[in-house]
Amino acid sequence: MPGYEAFDQSEKKEVMDVMETGILMRYGFENQRGGVNKTLEMEKALCEKLGTRHAQLTPSGTTAVSTALAVCGIGAGDEVIMPTFTFVASFESILALGAIPILVDIDDTLTLDPAAVERAITPRTKAVMPVHMCGAQAHLDELMAICRKHNLILIEDACQATGATYHGKALGTFGRMGCFSFDFAKVITMGEGGAVVTDDDLLAKKADGYVDHGHDHVGSDRGAESHPFMGMNYRVNELASAIGLAQLRKLDSIVARQKQTKKYIKDALAAEFPRLSFRRVLDPEGDIATFLSFSLETLEQAEAATRALVENGVGGVFHYYNNNWHYIRRWNHLKERATLYRLPQEVLDGMPDYATKTFPQSDAIISRNISTAINLSWSDDQVKARTEAMIRALRTVF
């Protein structure tokens, strides 16, 4: 999975291009930088790769999501629908803007259940933020139809799905804005980094300002630039962009290798365990194959299988039900509303009580699901040995 497994001379070369000029800032310094601007270059390459008009790099996926929400005008008291199974960045970004995260069930695609989304809509709902978890698609057709019908903004969190597609079109390019992460564990990495993309010229212009204190970037004197609105410092630095550029060029080959590995393991498990059910992937062609997810029949079986996999030396096994990062069940800080500052009254009044609210449908899915990482650096022999170890482990419980 992680792009860092593919590091070679090309990342070093891109970084050295930047160090030769000494200009780590993406803006200005036109005389000193001698035409080197890895950030612009990566933004352009990302647009080409994804088939989108605009891309704005950010220092993380979290700031990409924050930027998308802010640029779409989401703020105090607005409700944003998000899944129960995602990364904590989803609700962090919503709450940081004074908006209200409305958590909604997932289905067997491990992404937002459209019927549950529709039931959660209120007059305060402003946006729906599906998360393309573990490298594959949320229900885009249904979610786009719901957003059209109710006049809601669709923002895609494609942080785990760079390079994934749905019927040939890149994830992240269906909604009004799409968000990506290039942190150290993602399919391609900038060390830390991210991006927001859009086809909307005005939103792109706003994103360009928002990530740089609201600068309008007109003219060549930063001090003389005007600020049509307030922003943040969500600027990316040139060294990170240099690494990202080299990584982006490898994305296709990374995904091709992962797909081959995933298919091998999946076919072997399916042949051995006819009753094992695999995650429903809406368009398998467009899956970037960062994970192989399957579910057992009960929570107890999934727990036993997780233990057996670990005992058999299988690394990268995630039983998200018992994991603190990705599923509502263990998000105690959200349940306790544990912020360092007082949340706006609208949020305190309007946010459901997640300490008591239950999600039986999500629990039924996540409690039985195991996701296993597909690494990039495994040799064919290692893939074969891993598959054999997985079969040995699963035989003890299934």
Ligand X SMILES: *Cc1c(COP(=O)(O)O)cnc(C)c1O
Binding site for ligand X (CB under 6 A): 60-62, 65, 86-87, 89, 131, 157, 159-160, 181, 183, 194
Of 113 and 157, which has the nearer Cβ to ligand X? 157
Query: Burial of 77 by CB count in 10 Å (0-12 exposed, 13-18 middle, 19+ buried)?
Result: middle
Of 89 and 383, which has the nearer Cβ to ligand X? 89
112 within 8 A of 92, measured Cβ to Cβ: no
Of 192 and 208, which has the nearer Cβ to ligand X? 192
Question: Of these residues, 38, 126, 186, 262, which one is catalytic?
Answer: 186
Nearest to 287 by CA among 263, 320, 316, 264: 263
Of 155 and 203, which has the nearer Cβ to ligand X? 155
Shortest spacing between CB 46 and ligand X, in angstroms: 15
Of 1 and 100, which has the nearer Cβ to ligand X? 1
d(CA 317, CA 292): 10
Shortest spacing between CB 31 and ligand X, in angstroms: 33
Please give the distance of CA 158 from its chain centroid, rounded to a whole number: 4
Based on the residue annotation, tell me whether 335 is a catalytic residue of this protein. no
Shortest spacing between CB 360 and ligand X, in angstroms: 23
Of 52 and 160, which has the nearer Cβ to ligand X? 160
Shortest spacing between CB 345 and ligand X, in angstroms: 27
d(CA 52, CA 174): 10
Of 83 and 393, which has the nearer Cβ to ligand X? 83
Shortest spacing between CB 49 and ligand X, in angstroms: 18
Shortest spacing between CB 362 and ligand X, in angstroms: 15
Annotated catalytic residues are: 186
